[in-house]
Amino acid sequence: MKREQLLEAVRGQITKHRYEHTLGVVETAIRLAEKYGADKEKAETAAILHDYCKFWPEDKMRNIIENTPHIPKDLLEYDTELWHAHVGAEVVRRDLGIEDEEILDAIRYHTSGRENMTLLEKVVCLADYIEPGRQFPGVDELRTAAEEDLDRALAKGLGGTITFLVNREKRIYPLTVLARNSLVKPKMKNVKEEE
pLDDT digits over 137-163, tens only?
999 999 999 999 999 999 999 999 999
φ, ψ for residue 138 (rounded to 5)?
A: 95, -5
Could you tell me the pTM of the whole model? 0.93
For residue 1, the model assigns a pLDDT of 80
Q: What are 168-174's contacts with CB under 8 Å, separation 24+?
A: 170/79, 171/77, 171/78, 171/79, 173/75, 173/78, 173/79, 173/82, 173/112
Domain ranges of the chain: 3-183
Q: What is the dihedral of CA 104, 107, 113, 117, to 10 degrees?
A: 40
Return d(Cα 6, Cα 166) in angstroms, integer. 36
For residue 195, the model assigns a pLDDT of 43
Beta carbons of 75 and 82 less than 8 angstroms apart: yes
Return d(Cα 90, Cα 49) in angstroms, integer. 11
Beta carbons of 51 and 88 less than 8 angstroms apart: yes
For residue 109, the model assigns a pLDDT of 98
Instruction: Give one word for 79, left, alpha or beta, with left for phi > 0 and alpha for psi -120 to 50.
Output: beta
Return d(Cα 114, Cα 108) in angstroms, integer. 10
Neighbours of 72 (CB within 10 A): 16
Element (H, E) at 150: helix 150-167
Q: What is the percent of the chain where pLDDT is above 70?
A: 95
For residue 187, the model assigns a pLDDT of 60
Does residue 194 have a pLDDT over 50? no
Q: What is the percent of the chain where pLDDT is above 90?
A: 94
Mean residue pLDDT across the chain: 94
Topology (CATH level 3) of domain 3-183: Hypothetical protein af1432 (1.10.3210)
